Structure 1
Amino acid sequence: MEPAQTPSAGNQFALWQLGFRPFYLLASIYAAASILLWAAQFAGWLPLSYLPGPVWHAHEMLFGFVLPVIVGFLLTAGQTWTGHKTLSGYPLMLLALVWVCARILTLTPYGWAAAAANAAFPWAAAIALAIPFVRKGVRRNYFFVGLLVLLGAASFGMHATRVGMLNVPARLAVQFSMDIVLFIMVVMAGRVVPLFTSKGVPGTQPQRLAWLEYAAPGAILVVLLADTLALQGQVLAVLLLIAALLQAKRLSLWQPWKTLQTPLVWVLHLAYGWIVLHLLLRGLAELDWITSSTATHALTVGAIGTLIMGMMTRTARGHTGRALKADRFDISCYVLIQIAAVVRVFLPLWVPHLLMPSVIVSAFLWSSAFGLYAIRYWPVLTRVRIDGRPG
């Protein structure tokens, strides 16, 4: 049962009180709208290009959608980890404005302005996180600051190649960024999935092996290093297979089969399962058995889409004083994302000539999921907590 709400509480505007509020809302709206534009461009239905090519579709997925969710989550979690207030009010509004400017400038020919705005967003967020982290001395979380700095550098590098400053394949920066996001997902899943499982599903006893908690994220760092060194073929395929096996072992210890009656928990397990599948498919792609796009979309649509949706619903509920139980809208979002991922990953794999329909259908399902989230959680994210607590 949700806590009682005071008569005036539901009318108080609270969008700028904590980081998850504006960035979850902005990211979900952008995810719903931008993918439809890209699908229309891919199908040839737009008279003008929305983005200049697949590399920039990847850029907007990572820096337009994934990054603000990460920033919103870290600003929120950072306040919990340190006990110090993170960005709120006008500073948080200014950070959101930088993200909006970056999205607009990316669509313009002003490459240097776009580069500056896209790098400024994660770098400003890194500074905002570093201040409470250093004050409190939470050294185990310093690496999040470093990862935000690296993501800003990767985005800047992509724009620098666009304006001719760097002569480096833009896809290298895309892969580097995807590896960093994957590493963040693996680290955070290791922290929250066993915890949420034991607390949310009676009778579960998820296990954590000390060596595996280093080996599983460590394997992702090895893959990141291999990608940075431009390793390919059988060597990279072996590294990806080892990484997949380590993630699969880790997932099995969390007892996912016991979570089937708890959507708010099984969605996180399912997201981690997509990580395992992504690594396996990418290994097959390195052996030229399948296309690299298949593996990429197992990560972006399957793993990232599912984990973000699962975390956005759970943390939005938890940090607004609501019951930690998925309702029919949440479950609908989870299901839509799964169908979108299956259609985008497996339909072209089984029937290659259906690539275009798979892209269009998957985009519509993805847009429906995040559009539904935005509509459902608009009043949740913009109004004060129903239990009267700050946040």
Structure 2
Amino acid sequence: MTLPIGNQTPAPPAPHGMPWLRLAFRPFYLGAALLAALIVPFWVAVFLGSIQWQPTPPPLLWHAHEMLFGFAIAVIVGFLMTAGKSWTGLQTPRGPALGALFLLWLSARVASLMAPYAVFAVLDLALLPIVGLIFLRLLIRSRNWRNVPLALILLLLTAVNLTFHLSATGVIDLNPTRSLYAALGFVVIIECVMAGRVVPFFTASALPNLKIVTLPWLDRLALAATVVGMVLWVTEWHSGLASVALALAFALNLVRQWRWHPLATLGRPILWILHAAHLWLALGLGLLALAQLGLVTPSLGVHALGVGATGGLILGMMTRTARGHTGRPLTADAPEIAVYVLIMLAALLRVLLPLLTPSLYVSSLVASAAAWSAAFLIYLWQYTPWLVSARPDGKDG
């Protein structure tokens, strides 16, 4: 054992283990990007009849479930298990333990395509409670009470997923779409919370001459309106009240974003993608409010939240956090800019084009799927070498 001499401090332990299993963002970002790139065009081909395939739940339910519990949950798990180490100062799963969690996620995705439904359901239900309890234990040990609600949401999503599987197989008499809407609602709530924290912080850090004063009461009010609006929408308790709450959430999220000075970020792609995605979050809430009045179809609001908000925020965070945790500059090069433009184009094609020109629905669906898939393929091309190799600065992580 070597002791420090004088004012010297001990060197940090040398990195060990396979680089791609040192932090959760590495395997889960790769898996999520690959899944996103493949299953959206596959789903469109099934929807249009180009591929004949009939899973146990109808293909539409399979598509929505895999986008939420396959794609979005993988990114959330990768992000929270990585951020949890920074938030708590405690070690999160790595090496074989992390590999086992990733293989559990991957096996469920493969099972959704070819295994008996019971096998798929068991595998699919296993990941979230394990990760939720690990995350909750870290937060309690470090007394990080602020983030405990995020761990509880992971556990609540387990109950939502169980309800989906039971309703999709007819065990309980409930429309499985309600469970999928509830899952989307929880994802939107996570996005509302995290965007309120990171978007103004990242913007102020990158643009120090910009004065951003956040109003905690406004953030809490926007979150409360979003939660109430999503609950009323999911439960279908009262369409009029749901419309009011969702419209209020739309307005409050727009007001708080305007205070973050989004126009000042137009020259910084790694910033404007987060602002653009948050704008889609507000627009999605607004479209759901209109849907409660019968003015538009709910699908437009769902895809504004799913493609524009979730897809945009995920790619914005997957690029930024992957660069930061692999020791690279927090800038957007040409591939990142292409990714950001493509995901925003996918949202516009999927939401605004059918709204303005319903006759072009099929064309908009195909074009949006192509743009979405291209965005994630470019991400894989740029980031796979970084995510599977050690940091260039020699640090762990």
Give the TM-score band, short-chain normalised: over 0.9
Q: Distance in 2 between matches of 1:40 and 1:215?
A: 42
Q: Is the 8 A contact 2:44 2:369 kept in 1?
A: yes
Aligned amino acid, residue 35 of structure 1: V
Alignment of 1:77-156 (within 5 A): 77-108=83-114, 110-156=116-162
Corresponding position of 2:39: 34
Look up the match of 1:368: 374
Distance in 1 between residues matched to 2:316 and 2:148, nearest whole Å: 25
Q: Distance in 2 between matches of 1:133 and 1:48?
A: 43
- Which TM-score applies when normalising by structure 2? 0.93
| SS of residue in 2 equivalent to 1:317 | helix
Residues 118 and 152 of structure 1 are in contact (CA less than 8 Å); yes or no, is this contact kept in structure 2?
A: no
For structure 2, the 5+ residue unaligned runs are 1-13
2:195 paired with 1:189? yes
Runs of 4+ residues deviating >6 angstroms: none
Structure 2 residue aligned with 1:343: 349
Letter of the structure 1 residue corresponding to residue 51 of structure 2: L
2:85–2:91 contact (8 Å) kept in structure 1:
yes
Per-residue CA deviations over 1:345-373 (Å, capped at 9, x if unaligned) read: 01111111211111111001100000110
The answer to whether the 8 Å contact 1:111/1:162 transfers is no
1:390 alignment partner, SS class: coil
**What does 1:262-273 align with in structure 2 at a 5 Å threshold?**
262-273=268-279
Q: 1:225/1:233 Cα in 2 relative to 1: closer, same or farther (>3 Å)? A: closer
Greater shift in the superposed pair: 129-138 or 70-79? 129-138
* Matched residue, 2:7: none
Q: What is the 5 A alignment of 1:170-185?
A: 170-185=176-191
Task: Tell me the SS of whatever aligns to 1:15.
Answer: helix
1:76 pairs with 2:82: yes
Q: Residues of 2 paired with 1:202 and 1:135: CA distance?
A: 35
Shift of 1:109: 6.0
Q: Tell me the C-alpha RMSD between the 2 structures.
A: 1.5
User: Which protein has the larger Cα radius of gyration, Structure 1 or Structure 2?
Assistant: 2
Aligned 8 A contact 1:111 1:159 in 2: no
TM-score (norm 1): 0.94
Indicate yes or no: 2:253 matched with 1:247.
Answer: yes
CA deviation after TM superposition for structure 1 residue 110, in Å: 2.6
Residue in structure 1 matched with residue 10 of structure 2 by the alignment: none
CA distances 1:220-259 after superposition (whole Å, capped 9, x unpaired):
2212331353224322111100011110111011010111
Does the 8 Å contact 1:118/1:156 carry over to 2? no
Aligned equivalents of 1:152 and 1:180: distance in 2? 11
Superposed displacement of residue 214, structure 1:
1.0
Matched letter for residue 72 of structure 2: V
| Kept in 2: contact 1:201–1:262 (CA 8 A) | no
Is 1:353 aligned to residue 344 of structure 2?
Answer: no
Amino acid aligned to 1:268? L
Secondary structure of 2:20's match?
A: coil
Structure 2 residue 295 is the aligned partner of structure 1 residue 289: yes
Q: How many aligned positions are there?
A: 381
Query: 30, 42, 50: which one pairs with 1:45?
Result: 50
Amino acid at match of 1:94: A
Aligned to 1:389, what secondary structure does the other structure show?
A: coil
8 Å contact kept, 1:232–1:286: no
Matched residue, 1:258? 264
Query: Does 1:308 pair with 2:314?
Result: yes
> CA separation in 2, counterparts of 1:274 and 1:228?
19
C-alpha separation in 2, matches of 1:253 and 1:245: 13
> Which amino acid is the alignment partner of residue 225 of structure 2?
A
* Segment of structure 1 superposing worse, 332-341 or 200-209: 200-209
- Specify the alignment match of 2:25 in structure 1: 20
Q: Identity across aligned pairs (percent)? A: 40
SS of alignment partner, residue 80 of structure 2? helix
